[in-house]
Amino acid sequence: MKKYIDTGKKDTRSGFGAGLTELAKTNENVVALCADLIGSLKMEGFIEHSPERFFQTGIAEANMIGMAAGLTVGGKIPFAGTFANFATGRVYDQIRQSVAYSEKNVKICASHAGLTLGEDGATHQILEDIGLMKMLPGMVVINPCDFNQTKAATLAIAEYEGPVYLRFGRPKVANFTPENGEFVIGKAVMLSEGTDVTIVATGHCVWEALLAAEKLEAKGISAEVINIHTIKPLDEEAILKSIAKTGCIVTCEEHNYLGGLGESVARVLSLNNPTPQEYVATKDTFGESGTATELMAKYELDAPAIEKAAEKVLARKK
């Protein structure tokens, strides 16, 4: 399998900050809004370059979304940032009515998603946000895997006309995708070709999938690893092409198995080519306080869990 190198651990939220700072310099229509979490969203660079294009809304997320929707009427491209829990659950009504239904060009930028938020615990660890957002008509849902890809995604969504949910995280994780790589919305990335089992992963689980594939290779199992950075629109062609070769699939996500990437893949399979599938995801549960590494292990989202799921689905295929 193709080998990937961690060039140095970085947090994906800093990838967002780097992309937003670049947009401050290159796209005068981009404006930024934040609900009192400038440091957490890494927005300092944007503010330093373009303070007149930044709006601090305070802890008033519903107002922030309404302001963002209004700014699009004047041709602005608003990037509204806060924690994922507040960016979706707290303001779902405003997103549904003022952004999705109204087809406004708002970019909802959500940091601290999933279990890897860590010690802040269950009240902040939203594991339902992908499901909430992908069900909104017209909403694009993006969950990049590392610093480089998050920066690239941030730049790409500024060029896309329409509402976008961009999800990223708090901890420092492996940074392994190419610097300044191309980001195509809705186009999966083949990371490593294989013949025995397909592993599709999103977000922080992508690196874990690559680690699992190395362990499987040592056991004589050839795993095909695909990075699904865009959950909606889903690259159905890439998934179907892969499972036509391997005959089984594992889906991996830092999200509830109800409503996430796994269910989107299951729909594609059921309609086109029913195939054995195993889910690596949280099992209809809330999280708890702990380090990111501890929680990924306890909730079975890490490389050993992916390896185990691959072996299980292979046994089902036989």
Structure tokens at 50: 């373009």
Q: Which of 22, 61, 128, 208 is catalytic?
A: 61
- Helix (H, G, I), strand (E, B), or coil: what is residue 152? helix
How far apart are alpha carbons 152 and 182 in whole angstroms? Answer: 7
Return the pLDDT at 218. 97
Average confidence (pLDDT) per 10 residues, the chain, 318 residues: 92 98 98 97 98 97 98 97 97 98 98 96 96 98 98 98 98 96 97 98 98 98 98 98 98 98 98 98 97 97 98 93
Q: Are 287 and 295 in contact (CB under 8 A)?
A: yes
Q: In sequence order, what are the beta bridge partners of 272?
A: none
Spatial CA neighbour of 112 closest among 73, 84, 137, 135: 84
Pairing of strands 197-201, 223-227: parallel
Structure tokens at 188: 């999966």
Return the pLDDT at 292. 96
Spatial CA neighbour of 299 closest among 255, 264, 259, 266: 255
Close Cβ partners of 10 (under 8 Å, ≥ 6 residues apart)? 146, 147, 172, 173, 175
With the C-alpha atoms ordered 245, 246, 249, 253, is the resulting torsion angle positive or negative?
A: negative
Domains and CATH numbers, the chain: 10-173 (3.40.50.970), 189-317 (3.40.50.920)
How far apart are alpha carbons 99 and 73 in whole angstroms? Answer: 11
* Helix/strand/coil percent split, the chain, to 5: 45, 20, 35
Active site residue 61: yes
Return the pLDDT at 318. 74
How far apart are alpha carbons 245 and 267 in whole angstroms? Answer: 19
Return the pLDDT at 2. 84
Return the pLDDT at 3. 87
